[in-house]
Amino acid sequence: MTPTYYLLLSALLFAIGAIGVLVRRNAIVVFMCIELMLNSVNLTLVTFARINGSLSGQVMAFFVMVVAAAEVVVGLAIIMSIFRTRRSASVDDSNLLKY
């Protein structure tokens, strides 16, 4: 049971999340992909905490979870209000803020 596998898994999860953010248009899916990336980072932090026998990584993971929870609240609220006004959850449709 080497920690390397955990690292590989988290790298895989991060890659999936990143690709999801880049290729998917639905705001909810993009949002979930961001959560996936955050959690893969959490996994990495916990793994390194285990390897180094230090609690710092685990504490850091808790911080990330708190921030992620807060971000979900705000992010979902924004997506909801955009959907209500524009009848669309596609991230490509909301492109008004540009040059």
Catalog residues that contact other proteins under the rule CB under 8 A: 18, 21-23, 25, 30, 91-92, 94-99
When the beta carbons of 37 and 43 are compared against other proteins, the nearer one is: 37
Residue 1 host element (H or E)? none
Q: Minimum distance between the CB of residue 52 and other proteins, rounded to whole angstroms?
A: 18
When the beta carbons of 48 and 58 are compared against other proteins, the nearer one is: 48
When the beta carbons of 1 and 22 are compared against other proteins, the nearer one is: 22
**Secondary structure class of 50 (helix, strand, coil):** helix
Q: Minimum distance between the CB of residue 20 and other proteins, rounded to whole angstroms?
A: 10
Contacts of 53 (CB under 8 A, 6+ apart): none
CA distance 54 to 51: 8
Q: Minimum distance between the CB of residue 19 and other proteins, rounded to whole angstroms?
A: 10
Contacts of 77 (CB under 8 A, 6+ apart): none
When the beta carbons of 25 and 50 are compared against other proteins, the nearer one is: 25
As given in the structure block, the two tokens for residue 53 are 């026998």
